[in-house]
Structure 1
């Protein structure tokens, strides 16, 4: 097992290095630079050029990359030209919000997906299965940003059940009970909106696993030996069908990254996704490259986690 993990780590590290190079090069190809649009046009162009020289913006790309990656390894991601603060501090503030949003979304997703998937798989081709399957088809066809807008309009503006923006009520003192309640209230609607769409993949996957497992030889044998139906489902079908869902967990992390970009902007939730789009429009390149790098590393690590869990569930996939 440890040999498998070490081999996967040796594959993961070059992927992260290549990812960092590609991200930096794509940022270099974006129009303008970190100073574009942020300096008074009446300032002497020579002074602007002097500032670019001071910041190293005129250096060859490989020198800029070397400076950027060496700083990143030390925890220094540069300075935000828009927010006038270190990028690491800025990301640290937003990362907490995105982390809790992702955790809440995952919890709600599995709380919904597992009962629906089990019901749909166990009672396949019944009215309950058809109803659940219809929901998943609608979920597959519905864009997340459209669904999130509808949820915001209905439950935020029309019914007023949830706050419509921010991550906490203004003036709430951190650490108090009211602060925690306010954080949860601001978190629930975007998390539910994401979960109700992302849940469809897990439901369909679990349904297919249960239907497939029901037809396996060891299930037929268990029934032939006189095992009760509840024992067959609880001890054999459900257990074997739920294990691959655990392996799917890492890929759920990857899916959440794209979802947070849309949802955080729609709900005005101050997280990494909102920071990412704002930094692009404001040409805050140091923030853009850092956020994309963190998103990419999260995706790679999510795939690594899935591979490790899957190797624990099914040792046959381990590379010999």
Structure 2
């Protein structure tokens, strides 16, 4: 297991290096440059050229990349936001907690919904309830998260008024109070539930397939032949063997939720890293864009690696020798 873990970490290092190059090059290919959203239209061409030279924007991309990567590795410095006039790491830090809390709540909703639906659908396959769950998963696969978010916002936010339509907390509440945290949770419920209803579909389908496959295994038939009750067969044998592989998808769930959060946060005006990402792209704030893309990419690699490690623990046969 230790050899597998070390090898998986070593594989992640060149992945991060390649990811950083791709992100930096793609960001540099965006229209305009880092000064486009900051310079007054009346500034002369000579002044603009001087500023670009001063900030090193006329240097070859590999020199700019070297400075950027070196600052990250030595000082964890992602540069300074041209739009917000503050260090990027401080700007992201203000939003990171909101995105993390939204992700945790979304994961909680995802498993609270997916596991009962998957178990019911798999146990009573080909029944009416199985067809209803199947219809839900097919719709979930077909509808993008941002479309579902817009529908949820319109129905439960604007029409019914059950949930707030934007922000992360009610204005005027004092930070750290009980009312403040309740308000923060209340503002996260609808975006988290909207994202979870789409994130559950893959887990539901996988769990259903696992249960159907396991309940036809020979050891299940043997347990029934020995006179074990149906509840004991499902609780002690089928569910135990079906739920273990679900743990291996925990990392992939994190990856999917982080990707969906970019659109959900924007739709609900939720001040997280996803909303900041979209705003920074529109404002051509290159330092923030590259930092956020690098963080999202790093989380994706870590999530994938986490799933591989959990799967190796659950099923030792897949470990790399």
Separation in 1, partners of 2:247, 2:41: 56
Q: Which residue of 2 aligns with 1:38?
A: 38
Once the two structures are superposed, the pairs formed by residues 75-224 of structure 1 within 5 Å of their partners are: 75-224=76-225
Tell me the matched-pair count.
320
Separation in 2, partners of 1:61, 1:273: 26
Separation in 2, partners of 1:40, 1:196: 45
Separation in 2, partners of 1:139, 1:15: 31
Once the two structures are superposed, the pairs formed by residues 269-288 of structure 1 within 5 Å of their partners are: 269-288=270-289
RMSD: 0.9
Deviations 1:220-254 (A, max 9, x none): 11112222211111111000000010001110111
Separation in 2, partners of 1:41, 1:118: 61
Task: Please state how far the C-alpha of 1:216 moved relative to its aligned partner.
Answer: 0.8
Separation in 2, partners of 1:110, 1:300: 22
Deviations 1:39-73 (A, max 9, x none): 11222322221111111111111111111011112
Q: Does the aligned pair in 1 maintain the 2:4–2:319 contact within 8 Å?
A: yes
Task: Please state how far the C-alpha of 1:257 moved relative to its aligned partner.
Answer: 2.0
Secondary structure class of the residue paired with 1:157: helix
Q: Does the aligned pair in 1 maintain the 2:37–2:285 contact within 8 Å?
A: no
Unaligned runs of 5+ in 1: none
Separation in 2, partners of 1:43, 1:121: 66
Deviations 1:19-58 (A, max 9, x none): 0011011111111100114211222322221111111111
Unaligned runs of 5+ in 2: none
Pair 1:22-2:28 in alignment:
no
Secondary structure class of the residue paired with 1:259: helix
Q: Does the aligned pair in 1 maintain the 2:163–2:187 contact within 8 Å?
A: yes
Pair 1:72-2:72 in alignment:
yes
Q: Does the aligned pair in 1 maintain the 2:262–2:274 contact within 8 Å?
A: yes
Task: Please state how far the C-alpha of 1:208 moved relative to its aligned partner.
Answer: 0.3
73-82 or 38-47, which deviates more: 38-47
Separation in 1, partners of 2:147, 2:175: 33
41-50 or 76-85, which deviates more: 41-50
Structure 1 length as normaliser, TM-score?
Answer: 0.98
Q: Which residue of 2 aligns with 1:8?
A: 8
Structure 2 length as normaliser, TM-score?
Answer: 0.98
Separation in 2, partners of 1:119, 1:224: 23
Separation in 2, partners of 1:42, 1:12: 47
Separation in 2, partners of 1:53, 1:214: 68
Q: Which residue of 2 aligns with 1:300?
A: 301
Q: Which residue of 2 aligns with 1:48?
A: 48
Q: Does the aligned pair in 1 maintain the 2:37–2:83 contact within 8 Å?
A: no
Secondary structure class of the residue paired with 1:125: coil
Separation in 1, partners of 2:263, 2:22: 23
